[in-house]
A and B are shown apart, each in its own frame.
Chain A
Amino acid sequence: MMQWPQLFRSGVRASWANLSVELTPAVIFASRIPRTVLQALFFILLAYAAGGSELAKFALIGNMMHTAVFHGVVEMSFVIELEKYLGTMPYLIASPANWFPMMLGRSLTGYIEGLVRVVLVLIFLFPFFGMGISAIDLLRAVPLFLITLATTSALGWLSGAITLPTRWGALVSNTIGYLMMVLCGINFPFSVLPPAVQWMGRALPMTHGLLATRAVLDGAPYADVAGLMAIEIAIGLIYGAVAWILFAHRLNVARQTGNIEQF
């Protein structure tokens, strides 16, 4: 446990090094920023066409959160994928150091990039579609936002753990990210979905966090949404625990069978 902070820092350094190679000014300004804003704009315009400015505002809040969550889910899974593709996974497994703080550190830049994406959507789209939301309520929603992003990261980690011995990690994590748009009530309330599908939505992280965030943005006090956030945190912890167990199991199996590089 004494080495955990150092391992965490090493993970952060490694992930920042990866990201800084990828993020050239051309990629940032010609790809990342426009992609984030335009994707959110597309879904908000769809909501506007369907249900006017009220549904557009609903979609703005949903997409603002989803842009970070989607990135969080994909990036958490990608952290594991990257170790495989770079050929560093066997070293990570063989090393006596604990992999958990290292992996947390490696996912930190993804978490931060997710938050940057939220800020981008806020800057570019909030003035047009965020009518009626006060700045105070927006600030009050920030802690709920951060908690929800953390809980959904657990889902990304679980996705990475499930797909560890396969080569389908990117497809699975992207599919989960897109499915959350339908199941978690991003563009329209999930009450319109069939009951069985609603149940699936309730079992996913983000659904309760997003409901709580919407309520706070409408002016509700924290006490009113405490129950929703408690469920959100509990779901995140369950996903995190399952991911931890499954990932450790995958690594043990890989050690025993020596097939970590076969995927």
Chain B
Amino acid sequence: MISHLLGLLRVVAASFKMQAKERATNQFFIGTLLITPIIFTLLSVGSYIYAGKTNFGLYAVIGAGMIGIWNANLWTSGRIIEGERRGGTLSMLIAAPTPFPVVLVGKSLSNAAASLISMAMTFATGLIVFRLPVDIANPFAFIVSLLLTLAAMTSFGLVLGSFFVLTRNAGAFIEVTNYPIFILSGLMFPLTILPLWLRPLSATLAPMWGNLALGTAAGLVAGNPWLIDLYLIGLSLVYLMIARPLFAKIEHRVRQDGSLEVF
């Protein structure tokens, strides 16, 4: 049992390392980690400053960072599978005795860890370009919330990643998934401007709770960040419970149809 677990951890570590090497030369990741967060910060903070709402600056910075994290995570799940498929290694990974989700977890965690860079980029942009005061009321709660947000988003990415096995157009569908998530999660504007009937949908999204947890820890929103963190943990577990059987079903289907390389 222990040797089995150690073996799985070795796979996670190897996938983590492999993904880090691939990412270093991948222009999509460079764009989503280093460039897009800066541009989104300039646009969001610029809009609020122009309208005279300078107190929204930190909120916009955190939101832009969340967008960077989400981009890196969603691109991750889609692009990992697309990359393996194009490289001709997806069928081998699925046929291997090691469960493919374990490989996917290692690779996703690697990108999730790297996605923290995007949060750093947005804070640096806020500080350097707009000279925003970035006082975080509870730094420890902020860091814990950030890590739990990463875990929740990665779990959500695994749910979506299962579907990406089915299509060669993962990239195109990722692009569509981005903006509804940004809108429904209220990453750059308060959810109160959206119609009431959309709220239940927002409540199912990890980025919405992550953003709320970070905002609360930063002192921008009244409330207890630890309670929201508990919700994030619960949400991650729910995502994982959905992802596991879903992936098993999809894996069974592509094995049965022999359709993995037909695209």
CB-CB < 8 A to A34: which residues of B? 176
The stretch from A3-11, A109-117, A188-196, A198-206 touching chain B is A188-196
How long is the Cα–Cα vector from A47 to B182 in the complex, in angstroms? Answer: 14
Contact call B46/A27, Cβ cutoff below 8 A: no
A131-167 at interface with B (beta carbon < 8 Å): 167
How long is the Cα–Cα vector from A162 to B188 in the complex, in angstroms? Answer: 34
The stretch from B37-45, B108-116, B132-140, B220-228 touching chain A is B37-45
How long is the Cα–Cα vector from A181 to B35 in the complex, in angstroms? Answer: 13
CB-CB < 8 A to A171: which residues of B? 27-28, 30-31, 35
Name the one of A47, A48, A170, A192 contacting B27, with C-beta atoms under 8 angstroms: A170
Contact call B176/A31, Cβ cutoff below 8 A: yes
How long is the Cα–Cα vector from A170 to B171 in the complex, in angstroms? Answer: 14
Q: Does A42 contact B (CB under 8 A)?
A: yes
Contact call A31/B43, Cβ cutoff below 8 A: no
Q: Does A242 contact B (CB under 8 A)?
A: no
Q: Count chain B residues whose beta carbon lies closer than 8 angstroms to a beta carbon of A.
A: 32
Contact call B173/A47, Cβ cutoff below 8 A: no
Interface string of B20-42 (1 = CB under 8 A from A): 00000001101100011001001
Contact call B193/A48, Cβ cutoff below 8 A: yes
Contact call B51/A50, Cβ cutoff below 8 A: yes
Min CB–CB distance A256 → chain B (angstroms): 28
Name the one of B31, B43, B175, B193 contacting A43, with C-beta atoms under 8 angstroms: B43
Interface string of A1-36 (1 = CB under 8 A from B): 000000000000000000000000011001110110
A50-B47 contact given A35-B176, A39-B179, A42-B182, CB 8 Å threshold:
yes
How long is the Cα–Cα vector from A38 to B48 in the complex, in angstroms? Answer: 21
Q: Does B197 contact A (CB under 8 A)?
A: no
Interface string of A173-198 (1 = CB under 8 A from B): 01100110110000111001100000
Q: Does A225 contact B (CB under 8 A)?
A: no
Interface string of A195-233 (1 = CB under 8 A from B): 000000000000000000000000000000000000000
Contact call B36/A178, Cβ cutoff below 8 A: yes
Name the one of B169, B176, B193 contacting A45, with C-beta atoms under 8 angstroms: B193
Name the one of A31, A47, A167, A168 contacting B47, with C-beta atoms under 8 angstroms: A47
Interface string of B167-205 (1 = CB under 8 A from A): 001001101100110110000111001100000000000
Name the one of B31, B43, B176 contacting A46, with C-beta atoms under 8 angstroms: B43
CB-CB < 8 A to A45: which residues of B? 183, 189, 193-194
Q: Does B56 contact A (CB under 8 A)?
A: yes
Min CB–CB distance A183 → chain B (angstroms): 9
How long is the Cα–Cα vector from A192 to B27 in the complex, in angstroms? Answer: 31
Per DSSP, are chain B's interface residues mostly helix, strand or loop, or mixed? Answer: helix
CB-CB < 8 A to B39: which residues of A? 175, 178-179, 181-182
How long is the Cα–Cα vector from A230 to B166 in the complex, in angstroms? Answer: 51
Min CB–CB distance B16 → chain A (angstroms): 24
A187-B176 contact given A42-B183, A46-B188, A175-B35, CB 8 Å threshold:
no
How long is the Cα–Cα vector from A46 to B35 in the complex, in angstroms? Answer: 20
CB-CB < 8 A to A46: which residues of B? 43-44, 47, 188-189
Q: Does B255 contact A (CB under 8 A)?
A: no
Write the chain A residue with the least CB distance to B63.
Answer: A46
CB-CB < 8 A to B42: which residues of A? 182
Name the one of A50, A174, A188 contacting B31, with C-beta atoms under 8 angstroms: A174
Q: Does A51 contact B (CB under 8 A)?
A: yes
Name the one of B28, B172, B190 contacting A27, with C-beta atoms under 8 angstroms: B172
Min CB–CB distance B166 → chain A (angstroms): 12
Q: Does A41 contact B (CB under 8 A)?
A: yes
Contact call B183/A49, Cβ cutoff below 8 A: no
A193-B176 contact given A45-B189, A46-B188, CB 8 Å threshold:
no
Q: Other than A48-B193, A179-B39, give 14 A-B pairs with Cβ distance below 8 A.
A: A31-B172, A31-B176, A42-B182, A42-B188, A49-B188, A49-B193, A50-B50, A51-B47, A55-B51, A171-B28, A182-B43, A187-B46, A188-B47, A193-B46
- What 5 A-B pairs have minimum CB-CB distances, sorted nearest first? A49-B189, A51-B51, A38-B179, A171-B27, A31-B172
Interface residues, chain A, with chain B CB atoms under 8 Å away: 26-27, 30-32, 34-35, 38-39, 41-43, 45-52, 55, 167-168, 170-171, 174-175, 178-179, 181-182, 187-189, 192-193
Interface residues, chain B, with chain A CB atoms under 8 Å away: 27-28, 30-31, 35-36, 39, 42-44, 46-51, 53, 56, 169, 172-173, 175-176, 179-180, 182-183, 188-190, 193-194
Give 8 A-B contacts (CB < 8 Å), ordered by A residue.
A31-B173, A38-B176, A41-B179, A51-B50, A55-B50, A171-B31, A182-B46, A192-B46
